Amino acid sequence: MAIKEQIEWLRAELHRHNYNYYVLNAPVISDKEFDDMMRQLQDLEKEHPEYMDANSPTMRVGSDLNKDFKQVYHKYPMLSLGNTYSESEVSDFYERVKKALNEDFEICCELKYDGTSISLTYEDGKLVQAVTRGDGEKGDDVTDNVKTIRSIPLVLHGDYPSFFEIRGEILMPWVVFEELNREKEAREEPLFANPRNAASGTLKLQNSAIVASRKLDAYLYYLLGESLPYDGHYENLQAASQWGFKVSEHMKKARSLEEVFEYINYWDTERKNLSVATDGIVLKVNSLRQQRNLGYTAKSPRWAIAYKFQAERALTRLNQVTYQVGRTGAITPVANLEPVQLSGTIVKRASLHNADIIDGLDLHIGDMVYVEKGGEIIPKITGVDKDARILVGEKVTFITHCPECGSKLVRYEGEAAHYCPNETSCPPQIKGRIEHFISRRAMNIDGLGPETVDLFYRQGLIKDTADLYQLHADDIKKLDRMGQKSADNIIQSIESSKQVPFERVLFALGIRFVGETVAKKIAKSFRDIEELEHADLNTLTGIDEIGGKIAQSIISYFQNPVNRHLIERLKAAGLQFSRSEEDLSGYTDKLAGQSIVISGVFSHHSRDEYKAMIERNGGKHSGSISGKTSFILAGENMGPSKLEKAQKLGIRIVDEDEFLAMLS
């Protein structure tokens, strides 16, 4: 046998045995025979580098060379799922889907694995890229590290599409996690809090040889591409399992709400017997066509929801309640607790949220309280053991004045939180707004953090965000823990932030209720900050996903002369307060001034795609029919109430083909 043929034969055999062992759990050769074949292949590849292959089984051992990760944009955004902890909200989700589709549908029930999300791209049956979730739009390219995970195929078999993406969860099995923590404990190193953190931390290591030693696992749960074999999500994953992917055998299709609850109730107990961590159930509409028609909200798909299992809870003593002031002035009460072990971590503090929560719990200092982690992340107090209440201290009552500046607190109608109204002089609010402004997802000013902001504020160098652009290296280098190099780096990073696009500048301003997603929507709807500043309530609420609460907050922000003056200073400093020419390309005024309602089920594009088309062509999408509605873009199964109202008001009905012709 020729050398090249021998190498290719060894690779094919090792891929096959790897799949048998790590995916099927059905090895047909011994570990020694596998290792002998691997060593033979390594030797041949070393002697004949001209036959190198990036997807050879030898790549799974990793490299000890450190490598920086580059950022990669996802072809399809990786959105998060809406979470629920109650069966009533699962019922609400089911009924919403039923009403929106107005046709039969199936729900695919899956275990929600508690690891770190990954997106894998395959071309001609070979793994070409692995990218972390990141911020949902872009993530880190961790392909070399992922190649060390033996349950992820490097080369596929069977009848697969020529190009597709598959997503899943990278996990650290319990037995590997416990062994890793035993080793760390022996070396007197800090322990990992849970398998999720361990898997995430491992995947981001720059040394892939260490990643290989950590024995990560993976389950794949979603297939994307232009030429998938089936319309059914469940059926596509069954096909993917035939190509070599590790897909959960515990997936099940449900044809009724009762079957959904049967699945949830079974796994609420049985999950504790699994070899990897799970924290809930994911429910997805099975048909991809129906998924497209249901579309997305600003943050998550309308066709899926995650039901989270109830969190672990512990009993401990309440020692004290303190209060924190946020950047919006919101006052958050914090319970200081006797340290207690909970879900793998030591908990010393827990949020009490607001005055109503405190009153509802009837808290006293010294009470024995139940603590749990909401979503197993943020500790919170959920109850009091009143039978253990002996010789406790005074009742906990919410403060009336700001603990930082002494201003009398206010509580706005319809709000649960209390606020310090002293926006311009309350130090935590000022520093909080600056910290938000410089954060990575906003202006991304490196070299500055909470401690540096606090130092600059105390030294009188900055009192607001615009002051950052008046700083000089000479002002900074003489401060504690600074120097010429640090000062130069900070000034350079501040200068670079002037190139941050309009949408992120809007987010950085810290307008209440305007997060990243809303800022992007606004930036696409207005050419510049002046146009936004003069927008009225109707114009703002005409933007997809922006309701009255957000719109009123934006209007209030621009009505404040302090904020308008701040923006003028930031504009003078050179920040981007308008859309770039590149952003404006592809936009037309074909639908300018028109308010359009979308109703029904479509075949050419999804609802979200039609919303984007309307906005790109100068129109406004509206969720309800009124006398101001220009026309209704109607698909099949248009809601009867909307049709009746449209006929009553004499509003024109436009079908898909006519609408697309209007834009062509």
Residue 132 structure tokens: 């972390």
- Determine the pLDDT at residue 64: 44
Q: At residue 572, does pLDDT exceed 60? A: yes
- Determine the pLDDT at residue 65: 46
What digits encode the pLDDT tens for the residues 4-50?
A: 888 888 888 888 887 776 666 677 787 677 777 888 888 888 888 88
595-663: CATH number: 3.40.50.10190
Q: At residue 185, does pLDDT exceed 90? A: no
Contact indicator for 447, 493 with CB cutoff of 8 Å? yes
Identical fold at 427-499 and 502-584? yes
List the catalytic residues.
Answer: 112
Residue 222's φ and ψ, nearest 5 degrees, are -155, 130
pLDDT confidence tier of residue 460, bands split at 50, 70 and 90? very high
In the block, residue with structure tokens 């749990």: 372
- Determine the pLDDT at residue 67: 53
Residue 180: which of 164, 163, 197, 165 has the closest Cα? 197
- Determine the pLDDT at residue 326: 87
pLDDT confidence tier of residue 69, bands split at 50, 70 and 90? confident
Residues of the chain above pLDDT 70, percent: 94
Contact indicator for 364, 396 with CB cutoff of 8 Å? yes
- Determine the pLDDT at residue 512: 85
What digits encode the pLDDT tens for the residues 586-643?
A: 678 888 888 898 888 888 887 778 887 887 888 877 777 888 899 999 988 787 778 8
- Determine the pLDDT at residue 66: 46
Contact indicator for 214, 202 with CB cutoff of 8 Å? yes
160 vs 35, more confident: 160
pLDDT confidence tier of residue 164, bands split at 50, 70 and 90? very high
502-584: CATH number: 1.10.150.20
Maximum alpha-carbon separation in the chain: 87
Contact indicator for 470, 541 with CB cutoff of 8 Å? no
Residue 436 structure tokens: 């938000």
How far is it, in rounded angstroms, from Cα 369 to Cα 363? 9
Question: At 205, which amino acid appears?
Answer: L
Q: At residue 62, does pLDDT exceed 60? A: no
The architecture of the domain spanning 3-61 is Orthogonal Bundle (1.10)
Distances 387 to 358, 391, 606, 635 between C-alpha atoms, Å: 18, 12, 56, 60
CB atoms < 10 A from the CB of 448, how many?
Answer: 22
How far is it, in rounded angstroms, from Cα 497 to Cα 514? 20
CATH fold label, 83-308: D-amino Acid Aminotransferase; Chain A, domain 1 (3.30.470)
How far is it, in rounded angstroms, from Cα 83 to Cα 305? 6
Q: Which of 8-22, 81-95, 219-233, 495-509 bottoms out in mean pLDDT, i.e. has the lowest?
A: 8-22
450 vs 582, more confident: 450
CATH fold label, 313-421: OB fold (Dihydrolipoamide Acetyltransferase, E2P) (2.40.50)
How far is it, in rounded angstroms, from Cα 592 to Cα 362? 56
How far is it, in rounded angstroms, from Cα 367 to Cα 391? 9
The residue ranges of every structural domain in the chain are 3-61, 83-308, 313-421, 427-499, 502-584, 595-663
The fourth-level CATH superfamily of domain 427-499 is 5' to 3' exonuclease, C-terminal subdomain (1.10.150.20)
